[in-house]
Amino acid sequence: KKVAEMKLKFSHLEEMKDEGADVDMDTHCVFGAATKIPFRLNQNQALLTFEDEEVAQRLTKKSKHCVNLDNRTANVTVKPFELDMGFQFELHVTVSGKKINVSEIPELPIPKDWMRDKLELNFYKTEQAAGGGEIKNVTYNKGAGTAVITFLKPGASKNFVGCTKYPFYAEGRCFSLCVSPDFDAHLRKFQPYCRVSKKTILLKGIPEVEEDEESVQDMIEIHFQKPSNGGGEIEKIKFNSRGATYVCFEEDVGSASSEITGNS
């Protein structure tokens, strides 16, 4: 089953409490994430997300609103927008200060030990020559064409930050290897949540009119943008005039804001 994409929001860098990690000069990053929640938007309903949550709360409190649609006055109802259950969590990523991953290593007609030695010599170069310095270990997987290079000096892997390709000289030829950081990732604070959005409202009771869906949506937006109607600046709006549709609703991790992000 396909898993829906979600945004990761960088939270902070975290100090490594493990003494061994400090010695290796690892980097620990924390990201926040929350699942996108699909919402069924029925016929003649609309969702509006405001920049200011106070506007949404004010409109919800009033409940009944008279909106001018196609030269007729429509009595519509504003309801709080209640989200179904979703999940939020933290993604903790530790980037090694001494290891890098290498892939797309060519298959050459030489013994495995020779290839390992060539990789060690190739990545040993002095730091001034864009290398990592003395190498502690090389783990080479011939079948997969990959390797893990472990340097002796802490922080040596940072010499390869931003370097996705690295030259490799062997058998009188120059190959281009893929280089990437070696990292460990795990989830923390995984928990369900179910809440009422503070910035989005659900509009019900919109009558059918002769105007097309886009025109009706524009009229709704104009009405609820006016301060004289208790409205304010609108970030997103979605009106559905036929059948039922689904929108993905995403909570902004670490804050109270919410946003309609699209259809599904």
Instruction: Please tell me the pTM assigned to this model.
Output: 0.58
pLDDT > 70 fraction of the chain, expressed in percent and rounded: 85
**Per-residue confidence (pLDDT) for residue 23, from 0 to 100:** 63
pLDDT in tens, 216-240: 999 999 999 999 999 999 999 999 9
C-beta atoms surrounding 30 within 10 Å: 16
- Residue 254 pLDDT level (bands cut at 50, 70, 90): very low
CB burial of 143-172 (b: ≥16 within 10 Å; e: otherwise) equals: eeebbebbbebbbbbbbbeeeeebebebee
* pLDDT tens digits, 166-218: 888 888 889 999 999 999 999 898 888 777 788 999 999 898 888 888 999 99
Residue 105 has pLDDT above 80, yes or no: yes
DSSP string, 147-215: EEEEESSTTGGGGGTT--EEEEEETTEEEEEEEEEEEEEEEEEEEEE--EEEEEEEEE-PPP-SS-HHH
pLDDT tens digits, one per residue of 48-71: 999 999 999 999 998 899 988 877
Identity of the residue numbered 10? F
pLDDT value at residue 178 = 93
Lowest mean pLDDT of 83-92, 124-133, 253-262, name the range.
Answer: 253-262
pLDDT band at residue 252 using 50, 70 and 90 as cut-offs: low
Residue 97 sits at φ, ψ, to 5 deg, of -90, -5
**What pLDDT sits at residue 50?**
94
DSSP state of 26: -
More confident residue, 121 or 251: 121
**What is the average per-residue pLDDT within 80-99?**
86
Q: Which residue has the higher pLDDT, 240 or 35?
A: 240
State the average pLDDT for the chain: 83
pLDDT surpasses 60 at 83: yes
